[in-house]
Amino acid sequence: MSTALRALAVAGWGHTPACWERLQPEGVELTGNALPGHAAAEGEPVPGGPDLRAAANALAGDWGLLLGWSLGGLAALEAVRSGAVRPRGLVLLATPPSFLARATYPAGLDSTVFRRFRDGLDQDPAGTLRRFYALQFQGDRAARSAWAPTAIRDRLLAAGTAPSVLTGWLEVLGEADLTAEPPRLDLPVLVLHGSGDAVVDPAAVEFFLGCGPGVRAHIVRGAGHAPQITHPEETGQQIAGFARDLAP
């Protein structure tokens, strides 16, 4: 019988579960998951649509560890908050307290830039999704061969997702704001963030460190918005160490 800790990992906006494939933390049995409505790597959409509560409920199961990347981190947080999942620990990877800049969180994205991105998604969904993919690796010092080849991009991007679903989830991301009422995290939490993240400012780390006594953080130096893709060894080692500390 396997003694590995069962973990569910939720992908971010516009991505398939394949974004987790390079991540192999020792002692962790990782299962990748996409946000509802997103196309999986095989092309079939995950049931459901753009709603964080519904996404959280869809994660229900006996998971020892819950991981979420970016928007997927917000879904994982909602699953813990609502009690849909009661894991031993939570890993938040490049997760934004607020994607947009606000008085309570100036490190977010300017709303004008967000609206332009939203308009671009309406006009050219496929092209906008590809541009967003490339943006994730700005500030990342890993070799382009880790992410740039078309075969890799096409496997990681949920290009078969209906444009209305992508737009709906983008609206969810724009409306999300944890800063108005910061979550109380009463379980062990590992916050991972790339030092060069051009999508979610690393200031997010400080926010989450203030959300509970069991929150710890690690900055992946030289990584952008997707450390699990470009720096899987270091990211995996951090998750493996965190998982060992969760042993009953």
Q: Which of 197, 201, 218, 231 is labelled catalytic?
A: 197
Query: What DSSP string describes 132-178?
Result: HHHHTTTT--S-GGGT-SHHHHHHHB-TTS-HHHHHHHHHHHHH-BS
Q: Which of 15, 70, 98, 193 is labelled catalytic?
A: 70
Question: Catalytic: 70?
Answer: yes
| CA distance linking residue 90 with residue 93, whole number of Å | 10
Query: What DSSP string describes 41-81?
Result: TTSPBPSS-S-HHHHHHHT-S--SEEEEETHHHHHHHHHHH
Residue 137 sits at the vertex; the CA angle it makes with 132 and 142, to the nearest 5 degrees, is 160
Question: Catalytic: 197?
Answer: yes
DSSP-assigned beta bridge partners for residue 157: 15
Question: Catalytic: 193?
Answer: no
Q: Which of 15, 38, 193, 225 is labelled catalytic?
A: 225
Contacts of 53 (CB under 8 A, 6+ apart): 78, 82
Q: Is residue 189 within 8 Å of 47, Cβ to Cβ? A: no
Residues designated catalytic: 70, 197, 225
